[in-house]
C-alpha cells in the first residue's frame, strides 16, 4: 500500500470560503485539533499577505503540537525581481517554521495571460524562489498551480515547471487542479507523466468544482502521489477543496492506507464539528462519514434491520470515525443517548428512573427552541446536574434590565463613545439577593460585567474566568429580525475552555443564558474538585 502524508490547508485555502473569518485564537485552536487528528502538515497561513497570519506564526510556537508540522505559505518572487529582496519570500523565511509551501505557475496560458511575463522568466522565478528558501535550510513544497489545465494545453511546459522546481531542490511537487475542472482520467495520465520524470515525491491539491475533488485525489494516490492536500469539511473557495474528512476514511478503511491511527480516525467527527463551530457554519448533516445524518435511520425497516445486524444498512461501523448511528423519532434511542452522555459526565441515571425521562423531554423541548448541545457540553452538563433533585445552583437570576442609549453628543467617558450600555442585574446567592449595575462596551458586555460584580463578592476566584469567544447564529434567516438566535460562548480559566449555549428570539436573553451557564459551570467544577469558594449560604 502507498504511504500517504496528509496536508491540511483549512487555515489558508479553507478560510477562502465565503463567510469564514477565523480569528488568530480560532486558528490556534484549529491547529491544535488537527494535531490530535494526526494531520502531518498544517498550513497556517500566508505570513507575507496579512497581519493576522503574521500574528498566528508568532504565537504558533506556543502550541503543543505532538504530531503535526506547521507550514507557511507564499508565492514565487515577482517577475524581474530578486528572490533575496522579495518581501513575500523574506516573510516566509522569517515565519519561524521549518517547512514552507510556495505556489508558482505551471500553465503556459496563466504565465502569458495573467502573470504577463515570459515562459522562461516564470521558470526562473520558480528556480530562484525555491533555491533561496532551500538555502535558508527550509523544506520546500512547490504548489504547481493550474498544473492539470496547463498539462492539457502544453504538457511539455507544465512538466518543465516541475523539473525546474525539482532541480532547484523542492522536496515535494504538488500538482494542483486549481479550477477544479479536471476529470479522474486526466488526473491519472498527468500524474503518471510527472511520475516518469522525477523521483521527487508528488502531491495533489484538488478543488471540488466538478464534485470530483475526493475522487481525483484518490486516483492521484493510485497513480503514485504521496502528499494529499485538503481541508476539513471540504471548506474552500467556490465549491471547496478535497474534503479530508472523506478522503481520510476512504484511504484508511477502504484501501488500508495507514495515514492516521485508529484512535486518530475516531476523532474525525469531533474535529469536523469543532471546526465548523469555529467557522460559524452550521455543520452539514449530510456530509459523508462526519455528518450527523451520515448514519441515521428513519425507516422502520432499516431500524429493525439494524437492531438485528448493525451492518445491514451501514457501509462502515460509524464508531470508526467517531460518529454514531442515529435512529430518528425514537424515544428509546434518545433516552439511551442521554443516559450515555450523563454517564460520561459522571452522573448515573437509572434507565427506568424518572430523571432520565425528564431529561429527555427537556432536551427535546430545548432543542426545539434552538438550543443545541453537541458543541456546548458545559450547558449539557448543567442540564444533567439540574435534573438531580438535590442540585443547588450556585446562584439564581432574579431579574435583569439592559439599557442601550444613543446620545447626540459623545459622553465624556472614554470607553463608551456615543453608545451607552448599562445592565442592572439582581441575583440570589443562597439567601442573599445582590443588586448590581455595570456599564459595558455593548449590552452583552454590560450584562457580563454586572453579573460578575454581583458574584465576585461570593466567589472571588471567578475573577480568573474570561469570555474568550462569542458567536451568534440566526436560526431562521427568512424571518429577519424576528428570528430565533443561538448564542455560543466560550469561556476560559486560563487552563481549560468550555462552551455554553443560549437561545431565544431575543439576542440579549440568549446571551444571558449562555453567559450565566458559563459561570455556573465553572463554579460547579470548582465545587466538584473541592476547591473552596466562599459561599453565600455560609
Residues at the interface with Zn ion (CB under 5 A): 13
Decide if 520 contacts 384 (C-beta within 8 A): no
Residue 7 CB, nearest approach to Zn ion (Å): 12
Residue 154 CB, nearest approach to Zn ion (Å): 21
Kindly give the pairing relationship between strand 139-145 and strand 172-177. Answer: parallel
Taking CA atoms, 75 is separated from 126, 141, 202, in Å, by 9, 11, 18
Residue 358: CB atoms within 10 Å: 12
Q: What is the DSSP string of 256-307?
A: ---SS-HHHHTTHHHHHHHHHHHTT----TTSTTTSTTTTEE-SHHHHHHHH
Identity of the residue, 204 or 287, whose beta carbon is nearer to Zn ion in the bound complex: 204
Identity of the residue, 8 or 13, whose beta carbon is nearer to Zn ion in the bound complex: 13
Residue 428 contacts by C-beta under 8 Å, 6 or more apart in sequence? 395, 396, 397, 398, 434
Residue 234 CB, nearest approach to Zn ion (Å): 12
Taking CA atoms, 271 is separated from 251, 284, 310, 393, 404, in Å, by 18, 13, 25, 32, 38
Identity of the residue, 164 or 175, whose beta carbon is nearer to Zn ion in the bound complex: 175
Residue 43 CB, nearest approach to Zn ion (Å): 10
Residue 61 contacts by C-beta under 8 Å, 6 or more apart in sequence? 96
Residue 149 CB, nearest approach to Zn ion (Å): 13
Nearest to 228 by CA among 239, 243, 240, 238: 243
Residue 13 CB, nearest approach to Zn ion (Å): 4
Residue 178 CB, nearest approach to Zn ion (Å): 6
For the chain, state the CA radius of gyration.
27
DSSP structure class, residue 11: T
Q: Where are the beta strands (DSSP E) in 55-138?
A: 69-75, 99-105
Identity of the residue, 158 or 338, whose beta carbon is nearer to Zn ion in the bound complex: 158
Identity of the residue, 74 or 518, whose beta carbon is nearer to Zn ion in the bound complex: 74
Q: Is 444 strand, coil or helix?
A: helix
Residue 264 CB, nearest approach to Zn ion (Å): 24
DSSP structure class, residue 78: P
Identity of the residue, 13 or 43, whose beta carbon is nearer to Zn ion in the bound complex: 13
Residue at shortest CB range from Zn ion:
13
Identity of the residue, 241 or 264, whose beta carbon is nearer to Zn ion in the bound complex: 241
Cα gap 149→143, rounded to integer Å: 14
Decide if 472 contacts 536 (C-beta within 8 A): no
Identity of the residue, 243 or 445, whose beta carbon is nearer to Zn ion in the bound complex: 243
DSSP structure class, residue 208: -
Identity of the residue, 13 or 517, whose beta carbon is nearer to Zn ion in the bound complex: 13
Residue 528 CB, nearest approach to Zn ion (Å): 46
Instruction: Give helix 331-344 / helix 377-386 axis angle, nearest 10°.
Output: 100
Residue 445 CA, distance from chain mean position? 25
Identity of the residue, 126 or 455, whose beta carbon is nearer to Zn ion in the bound complex: 126
Burial of 199 (0-12, 13-18, 19+ CB in 10 A): exposed
Identity of the residue, 13 or 448, whose beta carbon is nearer to Zn ion in the bound complex: 13
Q: What is the DSSP string of 400-428?
A: EEEEEEE-SS--S-TTTTTEEEEEEEEEE
User: Which three three-digit cell numbers place residue 116?
Assistant: 504577463
Residue 14 CB, nearest approach to Zn ion (Å): 9
Residue 41 CB, nearest approach to Zn ion (Å): 15
Residue 232 CB, nearest approach to Zn ion (Å): 14
Identity of the residue, 13 or 277, whose beta carbon is nearer to Zn ion in the bound complex: 13
Amino acid at each position: 500500500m502507498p504511504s500517504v502524508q496528509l496536508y491540511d490547508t483549512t487555515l489558508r485555502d479553507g478560510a477562502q470560503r465565503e463567510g469564514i473569518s477565523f480569528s488568530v485564537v480560532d486558528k490556534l485552536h484549529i491547529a491544535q485539533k488537527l494535531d490530535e487528528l494526526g494531520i502531518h502538515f498544517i498550513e497556517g497561513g500566508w505570513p507575507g499577505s496579512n497581519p493576522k497570519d503574521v500574528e498566528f506564526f508568532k504565537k504558533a510556537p506556543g502550541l503543543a503540537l505532538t504530531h503535526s508540522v506547521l507550514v507557511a505559505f507564499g508565492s514565487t518572487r515577482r517577475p524581474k525581481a530578486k528572490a533575496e529582496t522579495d518581501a513575500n519570500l523574506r516573510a516566509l523565511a522569517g515565519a519561524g517554521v521549518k517547512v514552507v509551501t510556495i505556489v508558482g505557475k505551471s500553465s503556459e496560458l496563466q504565465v502569458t495571460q495573467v502573470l504577463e511575463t515570459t515562459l522562461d522568466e516564470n521558470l526562473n522565478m520558480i528556480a530562484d524562489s525555491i533555491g533561496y528558501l532551500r538555502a535558508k535550510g527550509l523544506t520546500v513544497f512547490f504548489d504547481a498551480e493550474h498544473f492539470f489545465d496547463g498539462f492539457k494545453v502544453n504538457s511539455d511546459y507544465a512538466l518543465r515547471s516541475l523539473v525546474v522546481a525539482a532541480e532547484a531542490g523542492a522536496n515535494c511537487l504538488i500538482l494542483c487542479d486549481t479550477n477544479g475542472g479536471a476529470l479522474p482520467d486526466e488526473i491519472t495520465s498527468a500524474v503518471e507523466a510527472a511520475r516518469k520524470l522525477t523521483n521527487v515525491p508528488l502531491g495533489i491539491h484538488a478543488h471540488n468544482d466538478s464534485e470530483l475533488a475526493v475522487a481525483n485525489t484518490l486516483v492521484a494516490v493510485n497513480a503514485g502521489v504521496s502528499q494529499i492536500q485538503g481541508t476539513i469539511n471540504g471548506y474552500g473557495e467556490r465549491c471547496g477543496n478535497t474534503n479530508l474528512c472523506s478522503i481520510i476514511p476512504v484511504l484508511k478503511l477502504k484501501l488500508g492506507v495507514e495515514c492516521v491511527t485508529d484512535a486518530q480516525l475516531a476523532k474525525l467527527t469531533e474535529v469536523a464539528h469543532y471546526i465548523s463551530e469555529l467557522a460559524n457554519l452550521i455543520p452539514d448533516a449530510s456530509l459523508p462519514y462526519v455528518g450527523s445524518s451520515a448514519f441515521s435511520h428513519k425507516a422502520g425497516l432499516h431500524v429493525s434491520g439494524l437492531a438485528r445486524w448493525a451492518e445491514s444498512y451501514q457501509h462502515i461501523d460509524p464508531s470508526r470515525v467517531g460518529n454514531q448511528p442515529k435512529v430518528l423519532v425514537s424515544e428509546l434511542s434518545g433516552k439511551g443517548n442521554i443516559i450515555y452522555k450523563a454517564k460520561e459526565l459522571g452522573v448515573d441515571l437509572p434507565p427506568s428512573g424518572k430523571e432520565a425521562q425528564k431529561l429527555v423531554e427537556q432536551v427535546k423541548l430545548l432543542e426545539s427552541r434552538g438550543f443545541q448541545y453537541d458543541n456546548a457540553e458545559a450547558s449539557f452538563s448543567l442540564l444533567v446536574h439540574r435534573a438531580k433533585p438535590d442540585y443547588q445552583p450556585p446562584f439564581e437570576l432574579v431579574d435583569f434590565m439592559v439599557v442601550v442609549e444613543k446620545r447626540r453628543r459623545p459622553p465624556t467617558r472614554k470607553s463608551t463613545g456615543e453608545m451607552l450600555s448599562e445592565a442592572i442585574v439582581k441575583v440570589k446567592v443562597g439567601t442573599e439577593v445582590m443588586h448590581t449595575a455595570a456599564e459595558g462596551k455593548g449590552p452583552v458586555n454590560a450584562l457580563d460585567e454586572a453579573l460578575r460584580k454581583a458574584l465576585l463578592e461570593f466567589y472571588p476566584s471567578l475573577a480568573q474566568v474570561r469570555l474568550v469567544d462569542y458567536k451568534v447564529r440566526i436560526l431562521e434567516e427568512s424571518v429577519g429580525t424576528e428570528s430565533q438566535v443561538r448564542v455560543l460562548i466560550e469561556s476560559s480559566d486560563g487552563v481549560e475552555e468550555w462552551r455554553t449555549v443560549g437561545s431565544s428570539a431575543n439576542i440579549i436573553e440568549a446571551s444571558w443564558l449562555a453567559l450565566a451557564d458559563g459561570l455556573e459551570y465553572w463554579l460547579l467544577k470548582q465545587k466538584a474538585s473541592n476547591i473552596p469558594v466562599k459561599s453565600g449560604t455560609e
